[in-house]
């Protein structure tokens, strides 16, 4: 067997790299970071590089922007490149270590424009972040966009807390929902992980 693939990679699209050049070095508030994140999600779906999802990794104490990711499933051809996995992987690449919670280093926050799907909740757990900030956790994402979050544990916030991760819900909720609504109104969008569900538009 010499035709097996031996590596894989994912790259932010050029529009995102250009846009991120305008990002501040740090955000003063979670609200400001979420506004940037939500805008990034909107730009991603408008550019057709992936779904309407974005995520940031921040230093918890300072708001320093460590990484920014968008959903890259369509652009990378890799189904696991959801925004959270991309942001966490880019943070780990930049810092040169898999553990964002390693002793002696600043604590990190993962900020996302909605509740992570089952895969991304796990990815957050194994990344070393100690705080997750989300715009919301209700059914709006699935209802408006047709995406499936998968079998998230019924008590996922308690399960996160049990493993040292605090979850804060409801930052920038209305603006996040508006992006899902815009996406849901499209008739040409690819819902690439909606197994067992159907589009609602």
Q: Which residues 89-128 are close enough to bind its own copies by CB under 8 A? A: 89-94, 96-99, 117-123, 125-128
What is the nearest approach in angstroms of its own copies to the Cβ of residue 5? 4
**Cβ nearer to its own copies, comparing 123 with 171:** 123
Q: Rounded to a whole number, what is the largest CA-CA distance in the chain?
A: 53
Judged by CB under 8 A, the stretch of 18-26, 103-111, 133-141, 176-184 that binds its own copies is 18-26
**Cβ nearer to its own copies, comparing 98 with 199:** 98
**Cβ nearer to its own copies, comparing 98 with 185:** 98
Binding test (CB under 8 A) with its own copies, winner from 68, 83, 135, 167: 68
Element spanning 52, H or E: none
- Tokens representing residue 32 in the block: 């400001």
What span, in angstroms and rounded, lies between the C-alpha atoms of 45 and 92? 25
What span, in angstroms and rounded, lies between the C-alpha atoms of 172 and 33? 9
CB 130 within 8 A of CB 107: yes
How many CB atoms neighbour CB 28 within 10 A? 10
Judged by CB under 8 A, the stretch of 22-30, 39-47, 168-176, 181-189 that binds its own copies is 22-30
């Amino acid at each position: 067997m010499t035709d097996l693939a031996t590596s894989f990679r994912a790259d932010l699209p050029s529009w995102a790299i250009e846009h991120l050049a305008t990002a501040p070095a740090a955000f003063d508030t979670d609200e400001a970071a979420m506004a940037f994140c939500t805008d990034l999600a909107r730009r991603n779906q408008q550019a057709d590089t992936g779904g309407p999802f974005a995520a940031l990794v921040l230093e918890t104490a300072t708001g320093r922007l460590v990484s920014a990711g968008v959903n890259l499933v369509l652009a990378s051809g890799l189904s696991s490149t959801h925004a959270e996995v991309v942001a966490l992987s880019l943070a780990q690449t930049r810092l040169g270590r898999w553990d964002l919670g390693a002793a002696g280093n600043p604590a990190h926050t993962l900020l996302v424009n909605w509740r992570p799907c089952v895969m991304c909740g796990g990815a957050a757990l194994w990344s070393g972040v100690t705080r997750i900030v989300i715009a919301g956790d209700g059914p709006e994402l699935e209802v408006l966009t047709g995406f499936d979050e998968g079998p998230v544990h019924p008590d996922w916030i308690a399960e996160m807390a049990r493993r040292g991760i605090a979850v804060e819900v409801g930052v920038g909720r209305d603006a996040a929902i508006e992006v899902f609504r815009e996406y849901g109104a499209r008739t040409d969008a690819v819902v690439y992980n909606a197994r067992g569900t159907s589009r609602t538009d």
